[in-house]
Structure 1
Amino acid sequence: MRSASLHIATALALCGTWSLTACAQTTLGPVTGEVSFHTSSADLGVGYTWGHGVLTYGGRTYPFSVKGASAAAIGYSSGDSVGKVYNLQRIEDFAGTFWALSGEATVGRGVSGQLMENDNGVRIRLDYTRGGARIAASPSRLTIRLLKTPEQSSGEHTGNAKAHSAAK
């Protein structure tokens, strides 16, 4: 009986989250990019989240790392997220700290949705598929840092060599 009540409460909470993010999507404007990433979260009161992912923007892909914190959570979960990016005008605006109010009730496998925004006005609407055992209902903060690709690294190296040659 207790298990059934927990499942019903979880389903209602998730439906509320999905309907809020679905309604919000119409006011977010056009989609400017897409993300997919894998994260893990470990919590004992205060939690820590880490992971990596890929942003698709302007026909190119950009790898990034994710780390962050949350309050009022307990347990461990990991999983994959996919989402749409809104209001991204320049790739530089993607990196930064994203804020969200989030909730999760995962026992075994679970799904959830989240809407988050950074200081540059970039918004991400996410759909999660998680596994583990975790309960969380709190504000969360995720910091996204763009990673250099080998292509970008070699381009910067060439640019430094040109600058070094010009200085001679």
Structure 2
Amino acid sequence: MNSSSIAVILALGFFLLANPALLARAQTPPSGPPVARVAIHQATIAFIGSAAIGGGTVTYRGRSYGFNVAGLGVGGVGASRLDAVGDVYGLRHLSDFEGAYLEIHSGWAVGQQGRGFIWLRNPNGVIMRLRAQRRGLALALGADGMIVRLGR
């Protein structure tokens, strides 16, 4: 990850902390049927703050596209791997999938039994509702930001 990516992620983290209204809005349920499917695989290390890196695949209009994920969080302790699958709502153009997402989550992981739920929303109106499983030893509570870029 280069220094400009780190700066963007840090700025996003501070922005999220300063704007609690965005946290409430991110939990608004999506309207309409899902238009795509997504799978994400991510490694996270956390001690009060957290850092994550990974990637995934979005399947949209019958085609699969790889993407990279980088993120910064404001809550949690431990190290874990996240595997998540779910539905995508509000995606009108593939290019709308990219960008900074606000993540609201809660979950836990001990060994291979961790389960949780994740909601992600970006400024383009794209919402992901994910079913997640974490492996490792971690406790995560709070709000995180993620940067999604197409192409892997």
Letter in 2 for 1:135: L
SS at structure 2 position matched to 1:120: coil
Corresponding residue number in structure 2 for 1:119: 123
SS at structure 2 position matched to 1:144: strand
Structure 2 contact 40–54 (Cα < 8 Å) conserved? yes
Match of 1:57 among 56, 60, 64: 60
Question: Is 1:96 the counterpart of 2:70 in the alignment?
Answer: no
Structure number with greater Rg is 1
Question: Is 1:146 the counterpart of 2:146 in the alignment?
Answer: no
Corresponding residue number in structure 1 for 2:141: 137
Where structure 1 has 5 or more consecutive residues not aligned to the other structure, the ranges are 1-20, 149-168
Corresponding residue number in structure 1 for 2:48: 45
Structure 2 contact 41–81 (Cα < 8 Å) conserved? yes
Question: Is 1:33 the counterpart of 2:36 in the alignment?
Answer: yes
Letter in 1 for 2:42: T
Name the CA distance, whole Å, in 2 between partners of 1:28 and 1:113. Answer: 18
Name the CA distance, whole Å, in 1 between partners of 2:46 and 2:118. Answer: 18
Question: What TM-score comes out, normalization by structure 1 length?
Answer: 0.70
Q: Deviations over 1:116-150 (max 9, x none)?
A: 100000000001111111111111111100006xx
Runs ≥4 residues deviating over 6 A? none
Name the CA distance, whole Å, in 2 between partners of 1:36 and 1:105. Answer: 19
Structure 2 contact 106–140 (Cα < 8 Å) conserved? yes
Indicate the structure with greater helix content.
1
SS at structure 2 position matched to 1:53: strand
Q: Deviations over 1:37-57 (max 9, x none)?
A: 211110111100111100000
Question: What TM-score comes out, normalization by structure 2 length?
Answer: 0.77
Q: What's the offset of the Cα at 1:106?
A: 1.2
SS at structure 2 position matched to 1:31: coil
Identical-residue share of aligned pairs (%): 31
